[in-house]
């Protein structure tokens, strides 16, 4: 398959330097290209979004707010029926896009993600992920053959979704700065009964960085953990996540901000959807060991 596909690739970029240009170059070098590339400049000061870019690449400028609102802005501005959210420090294989498009054509209400390779160790790859602790840390799944596979999470470094259902459900949630927006989206999607799919025939390489090119905001990350917990967890699972966050120095400010930011009635997202406890039993059995111990006792 070659030529332009009905896809808008949305790249949120903040102080990404030369990595952004390399990401865009790999997209445009592939035989099957997205019809549209949207770079959402999330308040960068390093000049990395200035280009020059070809006509298929647009840049949206906005004040810095973080990856979730930047990606939502890109989705609203996109003119294509399919979206791929891609980190600004990735490169794509020549045949990466067609398998993602085929997965969404077959399952139009799905979120789909590729096999993601580590730039430092390209032989290592993960396809989808699962939660491993009460702070919503996830671990990658190893690809199993070439067939589509159900997964517990589609990590946000690269995920594909149809634009209409994404926007109809509100897009990424009320998250600040960076982190957890992909976990929350996957949880919302699963609770609505929609597929989360790994696509092992699609390959993307990600630069997993020890230190990002900006100063991480610990309070914002704790806020995002608590926001995810308040939107999805209850009972002992919620209590254990709050206890874990309470050990961190930014907890008091973070919990106040998370509670203030959540809309009224949004303490349990996806009203009427599947209970998150069912998800945890299926996809995160060992992530809340204290809760598991209590249930056994």
Contacting residues for 255 by C-beta, under 8 A, at least 6 apart? 226, 242, 245
CA 199 to CA 192: how far, in whole Å? 21
What proportion of the chain, given as a percentage, has pLDDT over 70? 93
Which fold is adopted by the domain 3-206?
Spore Coat Polysaccharide Biosynthesis Protein SpsA; Chain A (3.90.550)
User: Exposure string (b/e) for 186-211, b if CB count within 10 Å is 16 or more?
Assistant: bbbbbbeebbbbbbbbbbbbbbeeee
Q: Looking at residue 222, what is its pLDDT? A: 96
Query: In the chain, where does DSSP find H-type helix?
Result: 18-29, 67-77, 97-106, 163-168, 181-191, 218-232, 235-246, 251-261, 276-283, 289-296
Residue 296's pLDDT band (cuts 50, 70, 90): very low
Q: Looking at residue 217, what is its pLDDT? A: 86
- Burial label, 58 (beta-carbon count in 10 A; 0-12, 13-18, 19+): middle
- Domain assignments of the chain as residue spans, ordered by start: 3-206, 218-292
Q: Looking at residue 293, what is its pLDDT? A: 52
Average pLDDT over residues 120-127: 92
pTM over 0.85: yes
Quick: pLDDT tens for 176-187.
998 899 999 999
Q: How does DSSP assign 161-172, residue by residue? A: EEHHHHHHTTSS
Cα-based angle 190, 195, 201 (whole degrees, multiple of 5): 135
Task: Assess contact for 118 and 208: CB atoms under 8 A.
Answer: yes
Quick: pLDDT tens for 72-89.
999 999 999 999 999 999
């Amino acid at each position: 398959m070659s030529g332009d596909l009905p896809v808008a690739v949305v790249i949120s970029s903040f102080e990404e330097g030369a990595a952004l240009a390399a990401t865009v170059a790999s997209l445009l070098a592939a035989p099957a290209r997205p019809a549209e590339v949207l770079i959402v400049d999330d308040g960068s000061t390093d000049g990395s979004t200035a280009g020059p870019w070809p006509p298929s690449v647009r840049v949206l400028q906005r004040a810095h707010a973080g990856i979730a609102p930047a990606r939502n802005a890109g989705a609203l501005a996109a003119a294509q029926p399919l979206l791929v959210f891609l980190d600004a420090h990735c490169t794509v294989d020549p045949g990466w896009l067609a398998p993602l498009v085929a997965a969404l054509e077959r399952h139009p209400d799905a979120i789909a993600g590729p096999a993601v390779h580590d730039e430092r160790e390209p032989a290592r790859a993960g396809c989808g992920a699962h939660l491993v602790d009460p702070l919503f840390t996830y671990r990658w799944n190893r690809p199993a053959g070439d067939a589509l596979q159900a997964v517990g999470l589609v990590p946000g470094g690269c995920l594909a979704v149809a634009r209409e259902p994404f926007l109809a459900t509100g897009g990424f949630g009320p998250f600040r700065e960076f982190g957890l927006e992909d976990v929350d989206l996957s949880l919302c999607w699963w609770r609505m009964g929609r597929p989360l799919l790994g696509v092992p025939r699609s390959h993307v390489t990600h630069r997993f960085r020890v230190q990002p090119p900006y100063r991480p905001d610990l309070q914002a990350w704790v806020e995002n953990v608590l926001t995810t917990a308040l939107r999805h967890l209850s009972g002992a699972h919620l209590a254990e996540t709050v206890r874990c966050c309470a050990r961190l120095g930014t907890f008091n400010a973070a919990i106040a901000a998370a509670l203030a930011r959540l809309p009224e009635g949004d303490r349990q997202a996806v009203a009427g959807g599947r209970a998150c406890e069912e998800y945890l039993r299926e996809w995160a059995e060992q992530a809340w060991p204290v809760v598991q111990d209590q249930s056994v006792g």
